[in-house]
Amino acid sequence: MIKLLKVQLKTRLSSMWFIAAAAICLLFGIMFGTGHSRPVTEDFGYQLEDMPYIIAVIVCGVLAAVFIGSEFQEGTVRSKLTMGYSKTVFYISQLLFMLIVSLILFLLVTVPYFLMAYKNFFSLFSTEYLIKAFGLILLSMAGCSVLFTLVCMSIRLRTVSIIICAALAFGIDIASSQLSRDILKPEYTEAVYVDMEESGNISYQTSTIAKSTEYIEKPLRDFMKASYYAIPISGVKQAGIIISTEIMAFSDKDKDKVTDYYEENKYLWDKDFALETHFELWRYPAWLIPEMIVLTAAGIIIFRKRNVY
Amino acid sequence: MEYVLRTNDLQKRYHKYVALDGATMNVPKGSIYGLVGRNGAGKTTLMRVVCGLQEPTNGSYSLYGIDHSERDVVKSRRRMGAVIEKPAIYLNMTARQNLKVQYSLLGLPDYEGIDKLLELVGLSDTGKKKARRFSLGMKQRLGIAVALAGSPDFLLLDEPINGLDPQGIVEIRELILKLNHENNITVLISSHILSELSLLATHYGFVDKGRIIKEISAEELEKQTRKCIKAKVSDTRALARVLDKIKLEYEILSNEEAKIYGRISITQLTKSLMDEGCELLSVSEADESLESYFIDLVGGGNND
C-alpha cells in the first residue's frame, strides 16, 4: 500500500495536470486574499469566502478523473494488479492519494488567502472558529474526494470522468445552496401594510402573521435536512457562514445573543435550522464520516466485482 | 514434468456471453507456450484471468502449484510479468523512469539492473525521450522490460506483435527467444499470426470458443504437419511390411490409409505392393501447415 502510494505521489504530482491545478488554486487563494486585505468598515459582510474552496473541490474532481482515468487508460492498473496488489489495496491507495491531493489543494488556497488577508483574519476571527471552519472544509473536501474516487473508479474513462466530476461538483454545490435556502424558509411570514401621506410620512402601519406557503413540512423537511448534511460540499458553505463577523460577535459563549437574533428574525429564516447549522456542527461529521465509509466500501465492492480490461 | 501454470475447466462468463468454456491447459516450465486461436476465441480472457485481473466464473488454475484461491498466489504472481493487450507504461515518462517506477512498486532495494534491462530490450539509447513519443514497437519492448523488472520466471505476452512492422516483429521474436534461451523464462504468448508463433513456440494450445481443444508440443506438431504422401491401399499391413523393408517412416491412419514420410518411387512402391498381393488405390501429396492443422482442428470457417 505504501509503495503504491509513494509511486502515485511520485508519478502524478510532477505531472502537468497537477502543476496546472496547483496554479489555479494558488491564484484563487491570492485573488480572494487580496480582496479581503482591505480594511473592514462594516460589521456585516466579511466572511470566509467559500468560492475558492468550491473551485478547489472542482479542481480536485478533475484531477481524480485525470489520475484514476490514466491508470485505466495507460493500463498501469493491470501491471499493479498482476504483480500481486489486491483490488482493495489498489482502491484504497487511489483514495488515500486523492485525500492527500485534496489536502494539498486546500493548503494552496488557504495559505495565500491567509497571508494576503492575515490582518483581517486575526483581528476579526477567533482561533476556535477558524479551526472549526477549516476542519469543516477539510472534511468536506475529503468527502468530495471519496465521492470522486468512487465515480472515477467506476467510470474509468478519463474524459467522461472529467465531465462527470466537474458536473458533479457544480451539481452538489447548487443542490447544497438550494437545500439550505429552502429549509431556511420560515414557517410564518410577516406582511406589513403601510399607509403613507403625500409628504412621505407613515400615517398607518399594521402587520399580519400568516403561515407561509413556501414552508416545507415534515417528512420532506427531514429528508431535505438529511440531504443537506449528507452533501459533502455543505460543510464548505457552512464554514463560510459560521466564521462571518456577525457570528463571531455571537460566539458560543454568548449563545443567547444568537438565539435572540434569530428570534427577532424568525419571519425571515427558520430559527431552528439556522441555530442548528451554527451550533450543531457535529451534524456534518456525523453524516459525512459514515457516508464516506459507506461510499468507500461500495466502491471497493464494485471494483472487486468488476473486471479489469 | 514441472508446470508453471495449470488451468482446470476454467470458465468465464460476461452476462450471457461465454468467453471461457472450460479451458484446461498446462504450461511446462521453460517452454514457450503459444496460445493459438482466432479473434474472440478467449485467449486474452484466459490471460486476464491468470493475471488476476478477472475472477473466473468457475474452474480453477494454479501458478507454480499454488491454487488461485489460496492467499499465497500473490507470491506466485510476483514471479510473473505480463503484457496484456497493450503495454502498461506511463506515457509522460522516459523508459528509465518507467522502470524505476516498476522497481519501486516491486519494492526492490535499488535500481541496479535497469541498464541491463534497457539494453536487453534495445532501449538503452532513448535518453530523455518520453514514452508517448515511442514507436509502437518501442512501446511494446518497454512494456516487456517493465514486465521483466524483478526478474520474473514466467512471462505472459498477449498479441505482442500486433500492429508491428516486419522489423518490429523480428525484434520482439528475437527478444522472446533470448529471454527463453538465456534467462530460462517460461513464456506464454498468444497470437493469431501462426507463422510467427511457429518460429517461437515449443508448445501449443489451440483455443476455440473458450476451450483448449488441443495441446501439443512443437515436436509432435512438426511430425503431424510434415511433408508426406498419403497412400490408399487395399491392405495397410502389406504396406507396412513393404515400408519396413525399405526403411521408410510411416503412420497407419486406418485399414486403408497411411502416411509415408520421405522420398519414394511410386513405381517401386506399386511393384513391391503387388508382390505382397496388395493394391495401391490412390496416392496424394499431403503438406499440412500449421494453418491448415489449426483450421482442421477448429472446423473451418463455419465455427463462429
Q: Are A178 and A185 in contact (CB under 8 A)?
A: no
- Final residue before a domain boundary, out of B198, B217, B236: B217
User: Is residue B194 domain-shared with residue B48, that is, in the same domain?
Assistant: yes
Residue A148 has pLDDT above 50, yes or no: yes
Q: Verify that B79 and B56 share a domain, yes or no.
A: yes
Cβ neighbour number for residue A75 with a 10 Å cutoff: 21
Would you kindly state where each structural domain of chain A is located, as residue ranges? 2-185+231-305
Q: Does the structure's ipTM exceed the value 0.90?
A: no
Q: Does B108 touch chain A (CB under 8 A)?
A: no
| Same-domain check for residues B105 and B172 | yes
pLDDT value of residue A40: 58
User: A82 and chain B: CB distance < 8 Å anywhere?
Assistant: yes
pLDDT-derived band at A21, boundaries 50, 70, 90: very high
The dihedral built from the CA positions of residue A109, A111, A114 and A116, taken in this order, carries a sign that is negative
Per cent of chain A over pLDDT 90 is 31
Say yes or no for a CB contact (<8 Å) between B102 and A79: yes
What residues form DSSP beta bridges with B154? B80, B186
Which residue do the cell numbers 457516508 mark? A291
Q: Which residues in chain B have Cβ-Cβ distances shorter than 8 Å to A90? A: none
Contact (Cβ atoms closer than 8 angstroms) between residue B72 and residue B66: yes
Q: Which chain B residue shows the shortest CA-CA distance from A15?
A: B92
CB-CB neighbors (< 8 A) of B92 in chain A: 15-16
Most confident of the following: A108-117, A223-232, B188-197: A223-232
B12 and B123 inside one domain: yes
Contact flag A82-B51 (C-beta cutoff 8 Å): yes
Q: Which residue of B has its CA nearest to A2?
A: B105
Verify that B196 and B236 share a domain, yes or no. no
| A245 pLDDT more than 70 | no
Q: Which of these three, B174, B194, B217, is where a domain ends?
A: B217
Q: What residue in A sits closest to B78 (Cα-Cα)?
A: A83
Q: What are the cell numbers at B98?
A: 518507467
Contact assignment for A308 to B53 by CB distance below 8 Å: yes
- Asked if residue A200 has pLDDT above 50, the reply is yes
pLDDT at residue number A164: 93
pLDDT for A25? 92
Number of domains in chain B: 2
Q: Do B95 and B122 belong to one domain? A: yes
Quick check: is B293 in a domain? no
The dihedral through the CA atoms of B63, B65, B70, B71 has a sign that is negative
Could you tell me if B203 and B259 lie in one domain?
no
- Give a yes or no: residue B36 inside a domain: yes
pLDDT of residue A37: 67
- Which B residues in the span 139-158 are in contact with A, Cβ-Cβ below 8 Å? 146-147, 150
Do B9 and B153 reside in the same domain of the chain? yes
B297 part of a folded domain: no
pLDDT, mean of residues A11-18: 88
Domain containing residue B268: CATH number:
3.30.70.100
Contact B107 A307 (CB under 8 A): no
CA dist A159 → A66, A69, A72, B123, B137 (Å): 8, 8, 12, 31, 27
Q: Provide the CATH number for the domain around residue B71.
A: 3.40.50.300
Burial of B95 (C-beta count, 10 Å sphere; 0-12/13-18/19+) = buried
Same-domain status, B51 and B171: yes
Q: Does A79 contact B at CB distance below 8 Å? A: yes
pLDDT in tens, chain B (304 residues): 788 899 998 899 888 888 888 889 999 998 999 988 888 888 889 999 888 888 888 999 998 888 988 888 888 888 888 888 888 888 888 999 999 998 988 888 888 888 888 888 888 888 889 999 998 888 888 988 888 888 888 999 888 887 777 877 888 888 888 888 888 889 999 887 777 888 888 898 888 888 888 888 888 877 777 777 888 999 899 999 998 888 888 888 888 888 888 777 888 888 888 888 888 898 887 766 777 777 777 765 444 3
Phi, psi of B26 (to 5 degrees): -135, 120
Q: Which of B82, B87, B101 sits opposite A82 (nearest CB)?
A: B82
Do B17 and B144 have their domain in common? yes
Amino acid at A203: S
Q: Which residue of A has its CA nearest to B155?
A: A82
How does pLDDT run across A167-176, given as a tens digit for each residue?
A: 999 999 999 9
- For residue A199, pLDDT over 80 is answered with no
Report yes or no on B248 lying in a domain: yes
Closest CA to A102 of A137, A69, A51, A71: A137
- Which range scores top for mean pLDDT: A267-271, A276-280, B93-97? B93-97
Question: Rounded mean pLDDT of A66-85?
Answer: 88
Say what the pLDDT of residue A98 is: 94
Residues of chain B with C-beta less than 8 angstroms from the C-beta of A80: 105
Does B146 lie in the same domain as B54? yes
Tens digits of residue pLDDT in A38-75: 665 555 456 677 888 888 999 999 999 999 998 898 88
Among chain A residues, CA nearest to B92? A15
Domain check: are B280 and B167 in the same one? no
B292 in a structural domain: no
Q: From B188, B217, B246, give the residue that closes a domain.
A: B217
Per-residue pLDDT reduced to its tens digit, A120-132 = 666 667 777 778 8
Q: Is residue B301 included in any domain, yes or no?
A: no
pLDDT, one tens digit per residue, over B230-255 is 889 998 999 999 988 888 888 888 88
- Burial track A100-134 (b if 16+ CB lie within 10 A, e otherwise): bbbebbbbbbbebbbebbeebbeebbeeebbebbb
Among A7, A16, A309, the residue with its CB nearest the CB of B104 is A7
Domain with B71 in it: 3-217
The angle formed by the CA atoms of residues A38, A39 and A45, to the nearest 5 degrees, is 90
Minimal C-alpha gap between B198 and chain A (Å): 27
